[in-house]
Amino acid sequence: MSTLDVAAGAIRRDETVEVVLLLAFAGGIVIAAWLRRIAGDRAGTLSVLLEVIFLIVIGILHNRLPDTAGTLGISMVAAIQTAIFVKVEGTVCSTVMITGNMRQMVENMFSVVYGGARPGTLRKSAIFYALCAVFGCGAAVGAFATKAIPNLALGIPAIALLIVLLLCEIAPREVVK
């Protein structure tokens, strides 16, 4: 077997993994769309509950199938969250990545500092700063937990989501369309 054959096999394996990850992400989006259709205003709450269940199942399976369950499961959970939670106070945001939120924060701060900002722009900048800070802290805690307690690391976001779920159920509802 030549080096070229080995390289071709590795490329095919990597391409297969990428396609399967995209399919898992697409599956998460379909689940989110289905939740919105059947649950309406309760879709957010149900998606958080579903994410908790998925994270627990992924955590269990990840200990037995580390390359498959963790990667595919996290891709699906991220897609559900991306598709359900799309706005904060009427402004588009992302709850699974930092770049768009950071852009919004910086652009809003620029408007405030150099003039021409609409009323409420400073508040939006603060909200996006908070999203960035929470994302960064979550990433740091996740990295530390993955190294320190690898078999239980997915329990941390599951517990955080349970707290969010409880807070959502306790707090009065305000639906912004």
Q: Could you tell me if 108 and 161 lie in one domain?
A: yes
Q: In terms of domains, do 90 and 80 share one?
A: no
DSSP 91: E
Torsion of Cα atoms, 115 then 116 then 119 then 125, to 10°: -60
Q: Give the model's pLDDT for residue 8.
A: 47
Domain span including residue 165? 86-171
Same domain, 36 and 94: no
Residues 128, 72, single domain; the answer is no
- Determine the pLDDT at residue 64: 77
- pLDDT reported for residue 60: 87
* 58: amino acid identity, one letter: I
Q: Which long-range contacts (CB under 8 A, 24 or more apart) does 127-133 make?
A: 127/88, 127/89, 127/91, 128/88, 128/93, 128/101, 128/102, 128/104, 129/105, 131/88, 131/93, 131/95, 131/98, 131/101, 132/98, 132/101, 132/102, 132/105
Last residue of a domain, one of 84, 101, 132: 84
Closest CA to 135 of 88, 83, 95: 95
Q: What is the model's pTM?
A: 0.77
Domain count, the chain: 2
In a shared domain, residues 7 and 17? yes
- 123 and 75 share a domain? no
Q: What is the DSSP string of 105-145?
A: HHHHHHHHHHS-PPTTHHHHHHHHHHHHHHHHHHHHHHHHH
177 falls within a domain? no
CA 120 distance to own-chain centroid = 26
Nearest to 168 by CA among 51, 34, 79: 51
70 and 78 Cβ atoms separated by less than 8 Å: no
Block residue for tokens 């910086």: 106
Cα 171 from chain centre: 22
Same domain, 65 and 108: no
- Do 90 and 167 have their domain in common? yes
pLDDT, one tens digit for every residue, the chain (177 residues):
555 454 445 555 566 667 888 999 999 999 999 999 999 988 989 999 999 999 999 888 877 777 777 888 889 999 999 999 888 888 889 888 899 999 999 999 999 999 888 898 999 999 999 999 999 999 999 999 989 998 888 899 999 999 988 987 887 666 555
98 and 56 share one domain: no
Would you state the pLDDT for residue 20? 84
Tell whether 78 and 113 lie within a shared domain: no
Question: Count of CB atoms within 10 A of residue 142's CB?
Answer: 14
> 66 and 111 in one domain?
no
- Last residue in a domain, options 27, 54, 84: 84
Give the distance from CA 90 to its chain's centroid.
19
